[in-house]
Chain A
Amino acid sequence: MSEVKTFTVNIYTENNIGLLNRISAIFQRRKINIESLSASESEIDDVFKFIIVVNVTEEQMAKIQGQIERQVEVIKAFYHTDEETIFTESALFKIKSNLLFEEPQIQNIIKESQARIVTVNKDFFVLEKAGRRSEIELVHRELKPFGIMQFTRSGRIAVTKTEMPISTLLQRIEESNEVAFGKPQA
């Protein structure tokens, strides 16, 4: 119970300015570092999604989930371990173009890592590598001696192996509301 693990938190929300501040404050108050964060649309129209990665104990995680779900504009929050999740990150490397021709090792790194060249011009080329953090870090380590002009890595994006019952939840909310208040207005 007290073991610190990596959790991927999926938060389904209404789209509202300031909500990210509200959610991040929950972590900040407890002095928990957000390892990565991404925000996007979800599988449901008009429902948005934050994916936050944190290293905490399961006990802490459950309490934080409760605090997140208390927020008025949060529909539902789920948390999962790495074993329960399919996840990936994406990284971009900007490198001088001449190195591509002068350093044959770079071509090997690209080939072995299955990285993709996004663009090449006379000054630089951009390499994209998607995958686990460790795979991206490996590419980074290998390219570093040759000089990296710019490097950016995205937050984790993830889907769960089991079903995320958000659609049925929303349907249930909708139906129970219809029972309580009569047919909703358009």
Chain B
Amino acid sequence: MDVKTQNTSDTTTTTMTGSEALIHCLVAEGADLIYGYPGGAIMPFYDELHKHQDKIKHVLTRHEQGATHAAQGFARATGKVGVAIATSGPGATNLITGIADAQIDSTPMVCITGQVGSHLLGSDAFQETDIIGISTPVTKWNHQITRAEEIPEVLAKAFYIARSGRPGPVLIDITKDAQFAEFDFAYAKCEYIRSYTPTPTVNETEIAQAAQAINEAKKPMIVWGQGVILGEAEEEFKAFVEKSGIPAAWTILGVSAIPTEHPLNVGMVGMHGNYAPNVLTNDCDVLIAIGMRFDDRVTGNLATYAKQAKVIHFEIDPAEVNKNVKADIAVLGNSKETLAKILPHIEQKSHTAWHQKFKDLYAIEYEKVIKNDILPTKEGLTMGEVVNLINKQTNGDAIIVTDVGQHQMIGIRYADFKKSKSNITSGGLGTMGFALPAAIGAKMGAPEREVVAIIGDGGYQMTIQELGVIFQAEVPVKIVVLNNEFLGMVRQWQQLFFDKRYASTTMKNPNFCKIADAYEIENQKVSTRGELGPAVEKMIASKESFFLEVMVEKEDNVFPMIPTGASVSDIRLE
């Protein structure tokens, strides 16, 4: 294959084993904090890790899935490539959920798996599995190494592919004999692969067409996604929004690219998004999509989605253009570049009357939903008021990591974000169990920031074993379990669409505080409003990890809601 690499300052070669070479590759790529779990086929590498603890900190998770989510949390909080290590067979297959999650949410991650010796490949050897075959549909790229000589070039490619263009997960499988074999090592970073165009060249005609359509629009609306954050285009995006004066709504993964309280931020689109941006999607005349992919949870019924609008799609991945929604104008390229290029062509506007429509609909949503969620008058605690109290105690400076379900929607709807990269959640795959290990990775990647994991009682028990990492590696993560003793989101659907037949959604939960005790994590359980405020305050004030269990209303629902198959403008408030 035609791959060009650029030699770093050190071009001399040194004889070493494949395992030691792997260490040098990771160091050269800046991967000094990695997550993983040892086992037979990856032992030579772990032996080298042991010798190089000064260069690379390895965090032992309690399950390989936890290693992938921790690597994802690290990547999402830092913008760097996350690294997860596992052995062959079950170690490798346990990575798959995290890899699939990283693929659909475009998270840069490199997974390294050990493999049985090359002479045993295909023999159904102990702990042999075809991880290349298994991981192919959920990786951006994968490759099996059977000779030590391949290691530098393949690892350089892996990191380059994982982080460039639209980021994604890469899996490298390395046979045990390749880890043991000696060769002459030299490392050069990869900067080019012939068959791979990570970032399309910006087309000036597309920029001009888009600018004209935006300037002529009477009721334009922006929907931005994670592409703004991945492209590190927050400044360019803010300048574009402020100059154009266009109401801007976000997809779940786009949140925090501009602050929650920014006057032009009109909230979240999609199934449990805000009322105004959903309804007005079907009223705007120009819909400007930036770094988002029109997921079905965003669009509702495609047949009735923004049909009146001219659609402009700013996108780095050409395969996303016209995939779900036909773009009248596609602007291909990295959002940082395209937004900077279009800015001089954009006319300064304020769209005052159009903004008023958003404000009017927000007022309706506030009265019918938001007020009752965050400032409830009923006896039982709501998820919204917990999030509201966390906002107050953290001044919106925390990284909020959420799991999947009702608490996720409430958490993201009501969390106050001031900085980019402040929310980490499993968006596309909807992986329950994501939050606890992802929060560990986020806190280790951004130790200066407060990290609060908000988790449901269901998802918490899917990766609860990772409390062991908090215990052993002393990671000061704050954990909030919003306990309604139900798999809440599924229960909500059962109530609304399955005549309240609560099939397998009730949970008899263990004493979560005793479990926290076992890991020596300070903890508290609250059931009343009076206890809640002081408990949240105590949790945030703590310098160490803290577990807070909040017993919330058992059968609260998340609204607004667009039922599956309905149009975005048919969003229900109750």
Contacts and interface: CB of A to CB of B under 8 A. Distances in A.
Interface of A: 13-18, 21-22, 25, 29, 46, 62-63, 66-67, 69-70, 72-75, 170, 173-174, 176-177, 180-181, 184-185
B395 interface: no
Nearest to B166: A70
Nearest to A29: B137
B142 interface: yes
Contact of B136 (A22, A67, A181): A22
A26 B4 CA distance: 28
A177 B7 CA distance: 16
B508 interface: no
Given A63-B323, A181-B6, 17 more contacts: A14-B1, A14-B2, A18-B142, A29-B137, A46-B2, A62-B322, A66-B323, A69-B318, A70-B317, A72-B140, A72-B161, A75-B195, A174-B194, A176-B201, A180-B192, A181-B4, A185-B5
Contacts of A62: 322
Contacts of A177: 4, 192
Nearest to A75: B195
Interface centre among A14, A17, A67 (most CB of B within 10 A): A14
Nearest to B132: A18
A170 B194 contact: yes
B353 interface: no
B191 A67 contact: no
A173 B6 contact: no
A185 B195 contact: no
B322 A13 contact: no
B195 A14 contact: yes
B196 interface: yes
A181 B4 CA distance: 9
A9 B433 CA distance: 41
Contacts of B132: 18
B319 interface: yes
A170 to B, nearest CB: 7
B208 interface: no
B342 interface: no
B6 A72 contact: no
12 contacts: A16-B1, A18-B133, A25-B136, A25-B137, A63-B322, A66-B318, A67-B319, A69-B319, A72-B193, A72-B196, A177-B4, A181-B6
Interface in B485-535: none
- 3 interchain residue pairs of minimum CB distance: A66-B319, A75-B195, A14-B1
A17 B141 CA distance: 12
Given A62-B322, A66-B323, A13 B195 contact: yes
Given A18-B132, A63-B323, A66-B318, A173 B194 contact: yes
Nearest to A26: B137
Nearest to B318: A66
A21 B195 contact: no
Nearest to B4: A184
Nearest to A184: B4
Contacts of A63: 319, 322-323
Given A73-B195, A74-B195, A75-B195, A185 B4 contact: yes
B172 to A, nearest CB: 12
Contacts of A46: 2
A181 B142 CA distance: 25
Interface centre among B192, B195, B320 (most CB of A within 10 A): B195
Interface string B1-33: 110111100000000000000000000000000
Nearest to B321: A66
A67 B136 CA distance: 14
Interface string B317-359: 1111111000000000000000000000000000000000000
A67 B319 CA distance: 6
Contacts of A21: 133, 136
